[in-house]
Amino acid sequence: MPAERRRAGTPRPEKTCPVCQRPFQWRKKWEKNWEQVRYCSDACRRGTPR
């Protein structure tokens, strides 16, 4: 994606995954349900150890 399409300096919302304790940022696919998103990945959602 060209750099000019994304607004520079606009921070994305961030959350911390309760399983791996890593921060993850907002994604377009989570736009409509960002409040319900809890895990950074399907592996963390299933509780699979890394």
pLDDT tens by residue, the chain, 50 residues = 454 566 677 889 999 999 999 999 999 999 999 999 999 999 999 987 66
Residue 16 falls inside a structural domain: yes
Q: Nearest 10 degrees: CA dihedral of 6, 12, 17, 20?
A: 50
Give me the domain span that covers residue 35: 12-46
Residue 28 falls inside a structural domain: yes
DSSP β-bridge partners for residue 23:
16
Residue 4 falls inside a structural domain: no
* 34 close to 13: Cβ distance less than 8 angstroms: yes
CA distances from 5 to 2, 10, 11, 32 (A): 6, 12, 15, 21
Counting the structural domains of the chain, the total is: 1
Place of tokens 């509780």: 47
Residue 49: its pLDDT value, please? 64
